[in-house]
Amino acid sequence: MAEKGTLLLVGTAKGLFILQRAAGTEKWSIVGPHFAGRAVYSAFYDERKGRGDLWAAATSWHFGAELLKSTDMGATWDEPERMRIKMPANTKKSLENIWQIAPGADADTLYVGAQPASLFESYDGGETFKLNKGLWVHPHRKKWTPGFGGLAVHTVITDKKDPNDIKIAISTGGVYQTADGGENWQVTNTGVKAYFLPDQYPEFGQCVHKIARHPKKKNTYFLQNHHGVYRSRDGATTWQEIESGLPSNFGFGITVSDAGSVFIVPLDSDGKRFTCEGKLRVYRSRDEGKSWEPLAKGLPQKNAYEVILRDSVASVGNNIFFGTKNGKLFGSGDDGDSWKLIEGSLPEICCVKAYKI
Amino acid sequence: MSVTVHLSGYLKPFSGGETEIALPGEYATVGDVLDSLWQQHLRLRDRILAETGEIRQHVNIFVGSDDVKRLKGLQTSIKSNEIHIFNAVSGG
């Protein structure tokens, strides 16, 4: 089979950039910004059923957040008369942002994680969406509180083989999951700390920044918390601390490569929120969190005060990418051993999504 | 009285490029004017009003020179035939 090229969807505070690299080359093409001036916190490339559709959430702080679709790789975007994602009138809420677009097991299913903390679902390929009622009526919902970025469902992880298995993360609420396709949701934060609460191991209320699943081990997950890095081996139900050897346990993004390597970019505490010691270092674990090693080859090691947001670390195969709030986009093609600057002056990067096409 | 709605340039993508829309007829309130505006440009509706039915936080509507958020919102009476819809001076 011919080697595939790479597609990067880079959402920024000022629009979406689409980068492509042909197979066997080092050169990237870049097109954008799409939706100039609007913030893009989530994007998704849907290749199921041979579609080749791009989805992106564009948020105008004036005119609202909306989900847009392109069937021609961004040459044109539809702009529906009525917004696709809307809070039902009986919620008395309005949509503030869209943080995640994720495929379901079925080729026509899409999930959208939103702010205020809610999950929307589509079973017709994105033609129509409806609010997931099971999560909305969850008795915990009214006790969830907004983090610095707002109160949102920012992570949605689905199982390609099991349409009933959905895991989500909420800041602040923590990890919730359903085994019945979204009718009922269980809270699964056991072992995850909430240092900012009097009860530091509550049932819920944790500020989980991101969770990622091991590509080959169905029940193994990794979690970057608001101070804390964890692993679960029981399907994101209970969590064990895996932060020994890290310069800080604070950070946002986390990803796992095909090789099973876990990548994070530690930041120096929630009070400072920039890279430790002014050095931009990615940390990799090749033993599921037992040990960590700093990766710095090709990354600035002096006066590098960067912030990497929760959805700005991504991988496809053993290619790893991350973007910073200062608009730098880095990539590695060797499972993190070395890094190259792809773009250096984009607007604040809010999300990076990587695909082979 | 019939009214003319003046739109911020940022709303042009949702109004077919128009920034001045004449709405013949008689209107009692801002809400009535907007209902008529949606008849011509439905795309404007979700961009100007939130799902709650209220004017979006960072959108301002003026009847003449009066900011309707300081009056009765969508129930504000039409006392001028000039309506302006602007994005607020907010952002980052």
pLDDT value at residue A9: 98
- Contact in structure between A41 and A49 (CB atoms under 8 Å): no
pLDDT value at residue B1: 72
pLDDT value at residue B90: 66
Please give the C-alpha separations between residue A323 and each of A214, A330, A345, B24, B25, in angstroms, as whole numbers: 21, 6, 11, 51, 53
Is the minimum CB–CB distance between A87 and chain B shorter than 8 Å?
yes
- Which residues make Cβ contacts (< 8 Å) with residue A128, sequence separation at least 6? A84, A122
Distance from CA of B87 to the nearest CA of A (A): 6
Give the model confidence (pLDDT) of A86-129 as tens digits. 999 999 999 999 999 999 999 999 999 999 999 999 999 999 99
pLDDT value at residue A211: 98
CA distance B13 to B88: 17
Domain containing A65 — which CATH number? Answer: 2.130.10.10
Domain range enclosing A78: 6-356
- What percent of chain A has pLDDT above 70? 99
Q: Of B47, B51, B74, B49, which Cα lies nearest the Cα of B63?
A: B74
Is the minimum CB–CB distance between A93 and chain B shorter than 8 Å?
yes
Which domains are present in chain B?
3-87 (3.10.20.30)
Is the minimum CB–CB distance between A76 and chain B shorter than 8 Å?
no
Give the model confidence (pLDDT) of B5-22 as tens digits. 999 999 999 999 999 999
First to last CA, chain B: 39
Mutation for A interface: B39, B51, B54, most A CBs within 10 A: B51
- Contact in structure between A15 and A38 (CB atoms under 8 Å): yes
Q: Of A209, A133, A142, which Cα lies nearest the Cα of A178?
A: A133
Work out the average pLDDT over B23-43.
97
Q: Quick check: B10 and A63 CB within 8 A?
A: yes
pLDDT value at residue A1: 59
pLDDT band at A10 (very low <50, low <70, confident <90, very high): very high
Distance from CA of B74 to the nearest CA of A (A): 17
Q: Where are the alpha helices (DSSP H) in B26-87?
A: 30-40, 43-48
Mutation for A interface: B14, B46, B86, most A CBs within 10 A: B46
Q: B2 pLDDT exceeds 90?
A: no
Is the minimum CB–CB distance between A83 and chain B shorter than 8 Å?
yes
pLDDT value at residue A11: 98
Give the DSSP per-residue string, A202-216.
-SS-B-EEEEEE-SS
pTM summary value: 0.96
Cα nearest neighbour of A92 on chain B: B52
Distance from CA of A299 to the nearest CA of B (A): 28
Give the model confidence (pLDDT) of A193-206 as tens digits. 999 999 999 999 99
**Is position A23 within any domain?**
yes
Q: Quick check: B90 and A61 CB within 8 A?
A: yes
Distance from CA of A265 to the nearest CA of B (A): 26
Distance from CA of B25 to the nearest CA of A (A): 24
Number of domain units in chain A: 1
**Is position A91 within any domain?**
yes
B50 chain-A contacts, CB cut-off 8 A: 64, 94
ipTM: 0.91
Q: Quick check: A63 and B11 CB within 8 A?
A: yes
- What percent of chain A has pLDDT above 90? 97
From the list B13, B14, B51, the residue facing A89 with the nearest CB is B51
pLDDT value at residue A3: 79
Cα nearest neighbour of A39 on chain B: B92
Q: Which two tokens stand for residue B49?
A: 């009003």
pLDDT value at residue B92: 60
Give the DSSP per-residue string, A313-341.
EEEETTEEEEE-TTS-EEEESSTTSS-EE
Average per-residue pLDDT for chain A:
97
Give the model confidence (pLDDT) of A155-191 as tens digits. 999 999 999 999 999 999 999 999 999 999 999 999 9
**Is position A1 within any domain?**
no
